[in-house]
């Protein structure tokens, strides 16, 4: 597995090594030792799997306080634009990072604690699988509006084609959170 660093401290792109033969392919989607060698000491405790149709935008979510979560995100079917926003004090504070993840490119994104996370489905449908290092706590879940003007995120689809939950439509802008 190839580990690619980003300009965001701890945010990593993982590219698995594919082994093809006449039957198809094999890949290692997770290796604790590889991540540990890259400085990740995370222990995952929960796996989540979502199915969504084109235009569905989930996010931007995070958990606060002791319930913050690191995530390892991959796409099992389809294609998404995965977006994270760094909420940690430092050089990349309130900056966004976006990456296409798909069953074709098989890339994964390791998102350390301290980031808001969201994605939009670019293909007709998508299945997203992600590991978390902390359990979901509805009492500690918060988020940021997907269309926050301070973030200027290009979701790669016209706004009229985006499908959001009522909850995500009510999320505050960054300026309302400070």
Q: Which of 25, 30, 130, 173 is an active site residue?
A: 130
Cα gap 113→11, rounded to integer Å:
10
**163 belongs to a structural domain:** yes
Which CATH number is 85's domain given? 2.60.120.10
Q: Which of 61, 129, 140, 173 is an active site residue?
A: 61
Query: CA distances (Å), 175 to each of 42, 94, 149, in order?
Result: 31, 11, 10
At 23-80, the pLDDT tens digits run 999 999 999 999 999 999 999 999 999 999 999 999 999 999 999 999 999 999 999 9
25 is catalytic: no
**142 belongs to a structural domain:** yes
Cα gap 72→12, rounded to integer Å:
9
The pLDDT of 102-119, averaged and rounded, is 98
Among residues 68, 81, 89, 135, which one has the least CA distance to residue 107?
A: 81
**113 belongs to a structural domain:** yes
Q: How many domains does the chain have?
A: 1
19 is catalytic: no
Domain range for 77 is: 42-177
In contact, 111 and 49? CB cutoff 8 Å: no
**49 belongs to a structural domain:** yes
At 122-151, the pLDDT tens digits run 999 999 999 999 999 999 999 999 999 999
**9 belongs to a structural domain:** no
**146 belongs to a structural domain:** yes
Q: For the stretch 89-106, what's the b/e string if a residue is b when 16 or more beta carbons lie within 10 angstroms of its beta carbon?
A: eeebeeebbbbebbeeeb
In contact, 2 and 17? CB cutoff 8 Å: yes
**27 belongs to a structural domain:** no
Percent of the chain scoring above 90 in pLDDT: 99
**120 belongs to a structural domain:** yes
């Amino acid at each position: 597995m190839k580990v690619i660093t980003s300009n965001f401290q701890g945010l990593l792109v993982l590219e698995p090594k594919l082994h093809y033969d006449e039957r198809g392919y094999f890949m290692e989607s997770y290796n604790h030792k590889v991540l540990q060698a890259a400085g990740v000491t995370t222990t995952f405790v929960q796996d989540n799997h979502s199915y969504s149709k084109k235009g569905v935008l989930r996010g931007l979510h995070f958990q606060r306080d002791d319930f913050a979560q690191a995530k390892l995100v991959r796409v099992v079917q389809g294609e998404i634009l995965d977006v994270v926003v760094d909420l940690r004090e430092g050089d990349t504070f309130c900056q966004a990072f976006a990456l296409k993840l798909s069953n074709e490119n098989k890339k994964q994104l390791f998102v350390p604690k301290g980031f808001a996370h969201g994605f939009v489905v670019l293909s007709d449908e998508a299945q997203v699988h992600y590991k978390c290092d902390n359990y979901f706590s509805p009492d500690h879940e918060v988020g940021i509006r997907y269309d926050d003007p301070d973030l200027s995120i290009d979701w790669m689809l016209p706004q009229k084609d985006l499908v959001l939950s009522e909850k995500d439509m009510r999320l505050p802008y960054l300026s309302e959170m400070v």
